Amino acid sequence: MSIPAPSSASAVDVRGVSRVFRTGKGQSVTALDDVSLTVAAGQFVSLIGPSGCGKSTLLRLIADLDTPTGGEIHVFGKTARQARLNQAYGIAFQSAGLLPWRTVAANIELPLHLHNVPRARRAERVRELIELVGLADFAASFPDQLSGGMQQRVAIARSLAESPGLLLMDEPFGALDEMTRERMQAELVRISAETGAAVVFVTHSIPEAVFLSDRVVVMSPRPGRIRAIVDVSLGEVRGELLREEAGFFAAVTEVREALHLDQAAPARGMDLR
């Protein structure tokens, strides 16, 4: 199969990427081994797998917070580095990472401020985003006055500040309680639909991945590889009732079986791609 040239149509194009960490004394750990993945514009893709499967590493490589030891990464047809310099993506981490001395509004404003967006446009954009994440009453609050879920919503609003075509999210709901988590998932589905941004979403949770994604990428550890890609076709509109539908359960089962493949079947190293 010939690999097509990176087109600007795909949001992320990962080709044959490896990342080897040197641990000193000639030893090394292969966090990612020959991983290829394409995320189309506007597509929601989750990376799921056990700890150490390299899903966060892959996200960091796409964000150019780390450099691959092999292979190529393109974001909207540009190199990962150029994409970062051009602000092609917004990013959110497991902890909100808000600046404690800035109010909610000023935290959301931060990337715009850093990039010298005029004051009036900044204020307008912040107003929209605060509305989008439902924190209009808390614009002047400081992060330490907010709950964890609210802080995470601020972080998401901040990642959307420059209307990126791509959102990179590293377990953004990992530290939240189950109820807040489900509400945030529903909001993220709505937000990603409204903004039309592609999303690469790292998670530990199978139901979360299935609920959110168009495609779920199942990874295996040591060395980190893509084991299977599950297409989830649950439609555009995803309400709370979706969690109780048969199609949802079928997709959850499919992801679970792909994750637990090595325990179920002895055929290790089977290529399901």
Partner 1 sequence: MMRLWRRLGLGALSIVLLALLWEAYKAVGPAGGVDMAGLQLLPRTTDLAMPHIADMVIRALEPVNSSAGSAPVWIAVLLAGVSSLGTASVGLLIGSVIGVLLALLMQRFRLAESAVLPWLVLSQTVPLIALAPLIVSWGGRVQIGAFEWERWMSVAVIAAYLAFFPMAVGALRGLQSPDAIHTELMRSYAAGWWKSLLYLRLPASVPFLLPALRLGAASAIIGTVVAEVSTGAKGGIGRLIIEYAQSGSSDPAKAYAPIAVAVVMGLIAAGVVAALGLLLPRYRRNEISA
Residues that bind partner 1 (CB under 8 A): 63-65, 84-85, 87, 89, 91, 93, 95, 97, 99-101, 110-111, 113-115, 142, 144
Name, in order, each residue with C-beta under 8 angstroms of 235's C-beta and a sequence gap of 6 or more: none
Which CA distances in Å does 199 have to 43, 110, 134, 176? 6, 21, 21, 20
Give Cα 192 to chain centroid, integer Å: 11
Nearer to partner 1, 112 or 133 (CB): 112
Does residue 214 contact residue 232 with C-beta atoms inside 8 Å? Answer: yes
Strands (E), 43-132: 44-48, 70-75, 78-79, 89-92
How would you classify the pairing of strands 215-220 and 70-75?
unpaired
Task: Tell me the closest approach of the beta carbon of residue 141 to partner 1, in angstroms.
Answer: 11
Task: Tell me the closest approach of the beta carbon of residue 54 to partner 1, in angstroms.
Answer: 18
Does residue 203 contact residue 172 with C-beta atoms inside 8 Å? Answer: no
Task: Tell me the closest approach of the beta carbon of residue 73 to partner 1, in angstroms.
Answer: 15
Nearer to partner 1, 107 or 220 (CB): 107
Task: Tell me the closest approach of the beta carbon of residue 111 to partner 1, in angstroms.
Answer: 5
Give Cα 185 to chain centroid, integer Å: 12
Task: Tell me the closest approach of the beta carbon of residue 230 to partner 1, in angstroms.
Answer: 29
Nearer to partner 1, 95 or 180 (CB): 95
Task: Tell me the closest approach of the beta carbon of residue 65 to partner 1, in angstroms.
Answer: 5
Nearer to partner 1, 83 or 216 (CB): 83
Nearer to partner 1, 48 or 63 (CB): 63
End-to-end CA distance of the chain: 13
Nearer to partner 1, 59 or 255 (CB): 59
